[in-house]
Amino acid sequence: MADITEVEYIWKNGEMIPWAEATTHILSHSLHYGSGVFEGIRCYQNPENGKSHVFRLRDHMERLHRSCKIACIELPYTVDELCDATLELIRKNNLPSCYIRPLVYRGYGVMGVDPTGSPTDVAIAVWPWESYLGADALENGVAVGVSSWRQRSNNAIPPAVKSTASYMNSILAKLEAKEHGYAEAIMLNEAGLVCEGTGENLFIVRDGVLSTPPLSDGLLEGITRDTVLCLADDLEIPAIEESLTRSDLYIADEVFMTGSAAELTPIGSVDGREIGKPGEVTRALQDRYFAVAYGQIDDYADWLAEV
């Protein structure tokens, strides 16, 4: 996984500020209690015409607003304002492609579990970031393991909130996976059903049918997940949402995970059970996904925000 590459500017609370000045107080509420929400977005440059586009920018900012609503955080910027700020920030940093991290968090002024009265800080950072698990992962797939850590339940931390607090068990699962020699972890929910990766949604293919767990099983409403379901429909690949067991992963013909960071990464093995090289369905969806994200298919122009 790549380290962060510094750029010149970060957008914070309506202003462009130098990267090194994008700081927050050590007693900020969200640092102590995880009371923040965020997004992960990508900007791609079309290799054919050199134009850069942010992929599904508005959808991400709308989800950020939904996360704030569920978390009872007042977000003082509209979706349009956040979209405009993102595009301006990319231009100001002169980045042809990049990863984008909007963050809304409770700042300095109140301590204790009750956040009432703490200010809301809003920041957007951008930086160059290649494939989350590496270029080889996109091509050949990765080995994953089912974690002993369970995903949080619907009534513990709402999975519809992409919150900073939600990722503690993802961190524990990721570290456990690395210790066991896996690139990534898969978490089950409290009922023992397949939920998601540490930061990705999951898909399997069996007998030509694409399957993914339903949102009711406790997973994040992934925007890349939605993208893949739309692309599958366009490619006439049968796709269903259904609960999956650990055994379903072992006997699948193909398995892959999706997310703005992971994009569409094939899985080559689960708990040492070989799945194999990326299959026909995975390859078709992966090729289509990148063609859409790079702005090479006009039918999906509504998903792209030109920089």
| Opening angle at CA 221, ends 165 and 156, nearest 5 | 40
The closest alpha carbon to 219, from 238, 233, 202, 232, belongs to 202
How many Cα atoms are found within 13 Å in the side-chain-facing hemisphere of 14?
A: 5
Among residues 12, 51, 69, 162, which one is catalytic?
Answer: 162
β-pair partners for 163: 37
- The whole-angstrom separation of Cα 89 and Cα 73 is 24
Phi, psi of 140 (to 5 degrees): -115, -10
DSSP class of residue 8 equals S
2-18 as b/e: b if 16+ CB within 10 A: eeeeebebbbbeeeeee
Record the tokens describing residue 56, joined without a space: 């599904």
**Which H helix or E strand runs over 285?**
helix 280-293
162: annotated active-site residue: yes
What is the Cα–Cα distance from 260 to 265, expressed in whole angstroms?
11
Which residue has 């909130």 as its token pair?
161
**Greatest C-alpha distance within the chain:** 56
**Contact partners, residue 132, CB within 8 Å, separation at least 6:** 1, 259, 261, 262, 263, 265
Query: Distance between CA 271 and CA 249 in Å, rounded?
Result: 9
169 phi and psi angles, rounded to 5 deg = -75, -25
Rounded-to-integer distance, Cα 57 and Cα 303, Å: 8
- Residues catalogued as catalytic: 162
